A and B are shown apart, each in its own frame.
Chain A
Amino acid sequence: MTSLQVWTYVIVGFTFLIYIGVAVWSRAGSTKEFYVAGGGVHPVLNGMATAADWMSAASFLSMAGLISFMGFDGSQYLLGWTGGYVLLALLLAPYLRKFGKFTVPDFIGDRYYSQTARVVAVICALFVSFTYVVGQMKGVGVAFSRFLDVSFGQGVIIGVCIVFFYAVLGGMKGITYTQVVQFCVLIFAFTVPAIFISLQMVNHPIPQIGMGGELADGTSLLDKINQVSIDLGFNQYTSGNKPRIDLFCVTAALMLGTAGLPHVIVRFFTVPKVKDARISAGWALLFIAILYTTAPAVAVFARTNLIETVDNQPYDQVPPWFKSWETTGLLGFEDKNGDGLIQYYNDQNATFVNEVATPRGWKGNELKIDRDIIVMANPEIANLPDWVIALVVAGGLAAALSTAAGLLLVISTSISHDLLKKWLRPNISEKNELRSARIAIAAAVIIAGYAGYRPPDYVAAIVAFAFGLAASSFFPAIILGIFDKRMNMQGAVTGMIVGLVSTAAYIIYFKFGGGVGHPERYLWDISPEGIGTIGMLLNLTVALVVSRLTPPPPVSVQDLVENIRIPKGSGTATAH
């Protein structure tokens, strides 16, 4: 066994022991502990747990990679996945906490006094959480395939087994305290390599500042990456290439989606007071921002390093990490012109191909890089010590596991609490409720594992769909439920259906249907990732119009709205 493998087993094994220890120590003893951790979690700890729940395999493994290949256009993920917390803190969290039930469908069902509304909300919640958990499964597969030296498919299967046991073990209470630990692991694992690389490249210990620093030869890092990108036929790194309207819509869809994701919202039911719900969102965003401001720096460092390592280098002299990543299938070299050198460039750029590549005897880009490996391979590319590389593996697993656990809890709660207990079988016993939750988890993990094994796009892109759907269904329904007292059942339900169906149809058409490979058919240049913004606007408009044409909600519901607007008199989250 190599020194790297020993380190990986030691560090990953050690972190797993801690997670299991914490999960066992804080096991849920009642349904209330199972659903909302007893409603007594300290805001700072809740902030950490929320951050771990939030920062998924996509944030940890894929995001820096995506940004590294997209440059400025990658900003949509950075802005989109942080800005939503402002909406959450200001527009949703305090009021939902005051409302004081367990789930988002609870709120929708009570506020819109309708079983239909509740069922629509449950279906949305299941759809959104399920789409999201698929992304986590791919992330788990990437991490395990590297860790255990197995193929990606086997990695997914091992991940499925671990997530399964993990999710069955803990209720919300166990998951919350485990996530606090997982946050510490993942943030340490993400920032330590970034600090090392920043010191190495620009001699500055803070990556956020080092990103704008100067290389040893005195050239600015960002100038250098712009130059290198253009030299290989790519776009200039620091300025965008995407239509601005698309960038705008994708960012908005991610923000609105963040604020509408059931597994994020449920976090604010776990704190004791309305005041705590507000500040929890602040702590969560602060902790999230540590990773989200480091990621763009990692992206710049990694891309510069990667290009320097491979550009026009002889294949038989590549460093060992290159070969080890080739075995996972995430990195591939094909010597198209038979010169034994690696030519990495943008062969989709016709001008560059005609003017530069062809005269040099290049016959196409010879290096296939899966963006997801950027973060995982980065420490190796930068020649960092083995324990740092092992730490990154542990961090990636922490990120994927913590998010998967949170999502699976939402899925099982949706089925056992919202669907069975509150709709199909109100008389179900607690024992049967728990059993149905476990069966739901099992089915979800297996299907998600399979979907993750054959993903339609990159992890972050899959996850982006979940956001589009959350943005177009939940966000407007909840906002209107709080800020528009006149909003009634007819308006909210029609709005949710219109938003969800239009968004889903657009995404399915361009990702699986006749629109695949035809971006010229996009509505106003808006890609499927950004269509949730339009779905949200449709939902909002339809809901407002329909509600004004139909009778106002009952007085008891209007009183409920008055009540949730004022913090005074909040109890802890209650059952019914």
Chain B
Amino acid sequence: MDSNKRYWQINLKYLAILLAIWFIVSYGCGIIFADQLNEYEVGGFPLGFWFAQQGAIYVFVVLIFVYVYLMNRLDKRFGVEED
């Protein structure tokens, strides 16, 4: 298979995984299942409330830095990084 196509497919795979996590922490834990999670308490916070107002945001930041790391590695592997 054409190397650019392979590169693009691996990129799409990374996107799918990272965006799934993005969706689960925000819409999943923070909204859809917030009431159920609020039954548990961590560090003085009801858990669903914590995800919606704190936790999801921390995860967002980590996701972007993980993506940057993965893509820089992928660019090198396929020799498509900039000069």
A interface, CB within 8 angstroms of B: 67, 72, 74-75, 78-79, 82-83, 85-86, 89-91, 94, 208-209, 211-214, 220-222, 238-240, 244, 247-248, 251-252, 273-275, 278-279, 281-282, 285-286, 289, 292-293, 296, 562, 565-570
Q: Whole-angstrom distance between the alpha carbons of A210 and B79 in the complex?
A: 48
Check: B61 CB closer than 8 A to any chain A CB: yes
Q: Do the beta carbons of A214 and B46 come within 8 Å of each other?
A: no
Q: Do the beta carbons of A282 and B64 come within 8 Å of each other?
A: yes
Q: Name the A residues within 8 Å of B19 (CB-CB).
A: 86, 90
Q: Do the beta carbons of A78 and B4 come within 8 Å of each other?
A: no
Q: Given contacts A244-B31, A566-B80, A567-B82, are A292 and B22 in contact (CB under 8 A)?
A: no
Q: Whole-angstrom distance between the alpha carbons of A170 and B17 in the complex?
A: 41
Q: Name the A residues within 8 Å of B72 (CB-CB).
A: 275
| Option from B4, B27, B44, B64 in Cβ contact (under 8 Å) with A221 | B44
Q: Do the beta carbons of A248 and B49 come within 8 Å of each other?
A: no
Q: Name the B residues within 8 Å of A251 (CB-CB).
A: 26-27, 31
Q: Do the beta carbons of A282 and B46 come within 8 Å of each other?
A: no
Minimum CB distance partner of A300 in chain B? B53
Q: Do the beta carbons of B81 and A275 come within 8 Å of each other?
A: yes
User: Knowing that A90-B67, A222-B49, A252-B27 are A-B contacts, what are 6 other residue pairs whose CB atoms are under 8 Å apart, sorted by A's residue number?
Assistant: A72-B49, A75-B52, A83-B26, A247-B31, A566-B4, A568-B80
Q: Whole-angstrom distance between the alpha carbons of A82 and B4 in the complex?
A: 32
Q: Do the beta carbons of A72 and B34 come within 8 Å of each other?
A: yes
Q: Do the beta carbons of A248 and B32 come within 8 Å of each other?
A: yes
Q: Do the beta carbons of A239 and B52 come within 8 Å of each other?
A: no
| Option from A222, A240, A289, A567 in Cβ contact (under 8 Å) with B57 | A289
CB of B40, distance to nearest CB on chain A (Å): 12
Minimum CB distance partner of B56 in chain A? A79
| Option from B4, B22, B45, B58 in Cβ contact (under 8 Å) with A222 | B45
Q: Name the A residues within 8 Å of B38 (CB-CB).
A: 238-239
CB of A310, distance to nearest CB on chain B (Å): 25
The 6 A-B pairs with the shortest beta carbon distances in the complex, nearest first, are A212-B44, A75-B52, A282-B64, A296-B53, A568-B80, A238-B49
Q: Do the beta carbons of B49 and A239 come within 8 Å of each other?
A: yes
Q: Do the beta carbons of A208 and B54 come within 8 Å of each other?
A: yes
Q: Whole-angstrom distance between the alpha carbons of A279 and B34 in the complex?
A: 31
CB of A246, distance to nearest CB on chain B (Å): 10
Which of B18, B58, B61 has the most CB atoms of chain A within a 10 A radius of its CB? B61
CB of A485, distance to nearest CB on chain B (Å): 10
Minimum CB distance partner of B45 in chain A? A212
Q: Whole-angstrom distance between the alpha carbons of A90 and B11 in the complex?
A: 10
| Option from A222, A275, A279, A286 in Cβ contact (under 8 Å) with B75 | A275
B13-49 contacts to A, CB under 8 A, are: 15, 18-19, 22, 26-27, 30-32, 34-35, 38, 43-46, 48-49
Q: Whole-angstrom distance between the alpha carbons of A460 and B65 in the complex?
A: 29
Minimum CB distance partner of B35 in chain A? A239
Which of B49, B56, B71 has the most CB atoms of chain A within a 10 A radius of its CB? B49
CB of A213, distance to nearest CB on chain B (Å): 6
Secondary structure at the A interface, as helix, strand, loop or mixed, is helix
Q: Given contacts A83-B22, A238-B46, are A282 and B56 in contact (CB under 8 A)?
A: no
Q: Name the B residues within 8 Å of A67 (CB-CB).
A: 53
Q: Name the B residues within 8 Å of A273 (CB-CB).
A: 82
Minimum CB distance partner of B71 in chain A? A278
Q: Whole-angstrom distance between the alpha carbons of A568 and B44 in the complex?
A: 49
Q: Given contacts A213-B44, A562-B4, are A90 and B18 in contact (CB under 8 A)?
A: yes
Q: Name the A residues within 8 Å of B68 (CB-CB).
A: 89, 275, 278-279, 282
Q: Name the B residues within 8 Å of A209 (CB-CB).
A: 43
Minimum CB distance partner of A74 in chain B? B53
Q: Name the A residues within 8 Å of B32 (CB-CB).
A: 244, 248
Q: Given contacts A79-B57, A248-B27, are A282 and B80 in contact (CB under 8 A)?
A: no
Q: Do the beta carbons of B52 and A293 come within 8 Å of each other?
A: no
Q: Do the beta carbons of B49 and A292 come within 8 Å of each other?
A: no
CB of A533, distance to nearest CB on chain B (Å): 11
| Option from B46, B52, B65 in Cβ contact (under 8 Å) with A79 | B52
Q: Whole-angstrom distance between the alpha carbons of A281 and B61 in the complex?
A: 9
Q: Whole-angstrom distance between the alpha carbons of A570 and B83 in the complex?
A: 9
Q: Name the B residues within 8 Å of A220 (CB-CB).
A: 44
Q: Name the A residues within 8 Å of B65 (CB-CB).
A: 279, 282
Q: Whole-angstrom distance between the alpha carbons of A82 and B53 in the complex?
A: 11
Q: Do the beta carbons of A85 and B46 come within 8 Å of each other?
A: no
Q: Whole-angstrom distance between the alpha carbons of A86 and B19 in the complex?
A: 8
Q: Whole-angstrom distance between the alpha carbons of A89 and B22 in the complex?
A: 12
Q: Name the B residues within 8 Å of A282 (CB-CB).
A: 61, 64-65, 67-68
Q: Name the A residues within 8 Å of B34 (CB-CB).
A: 72, 239-240
Q: Whole-angstrom distance between the alpha carbons of A568 and B53 in the complex?
A: 39
Q: Do the beta carbons of A248 and B64 come within 8 Å of each other?
A: no
Q: Name the A residues within 8 Å of B15 (CB-CB).
A: 90-91
Q: Whole-angstrom distance between the alpha carbons of A119 and B59 in the complex?
A: 38
CB of B44, distance to nearest CB on chain A (Å): 3
Q: Do the beta carbons of A285 and B82 come within 8 Å of each other?
A: no
Q: Do the beta carbons of A278 and B61 come within 8 Å of each other?
A: no
Q: Do the beta carbons of A570 and B57 come within 8 Å of each other?
A: no
Q: Name the A residues within 8 Å of B46 (CB-CB).
A: 222, 238-239
CB of B48, distance to nearest CB on chain A (Å): 8
| Option from A78, A252, A278, A566 in Cβ contact (under 8 Å) with B7 | A566
CB of B70, distance to nearest CB on chain A (Å): 10
Which of B7, B50, B63, B82 has the most CB atoms of chain A within a 10 A radius of its CB? B82
Q: Do the beta carbons of B54 and A296 come within 8 Å of each other?
A: yes
CB of A497, distance to nearest CB on chain B (Å): 28
Q: Whole-angstrom distance between the alpha carbons of A274 and B30 in the complex?
A: 32
Minimum CB distance partner of A248 in chain B? B31
Q: Given contacts A212-B45, A568-B81, are A75 and B53 in contact (CB under 8 A)?
A: yes
Q: Name the B residues within 8 Å of A79 (CB-CB).
A: 26, 30-31, 52, 56-57
Minimum CB distance partner of B78 in chain A? A566
Q: Whole-angstrom distance between the alpha carbons of A75 and B32 in the complex?
A: 13
Q: Whole-angstrom distance between the alpha carbons of A161 and B30 in the complex?
A: 42
Q: Whole-angstrom distance between the alpha carbons of A275 and B48 in the complex?
A: 35
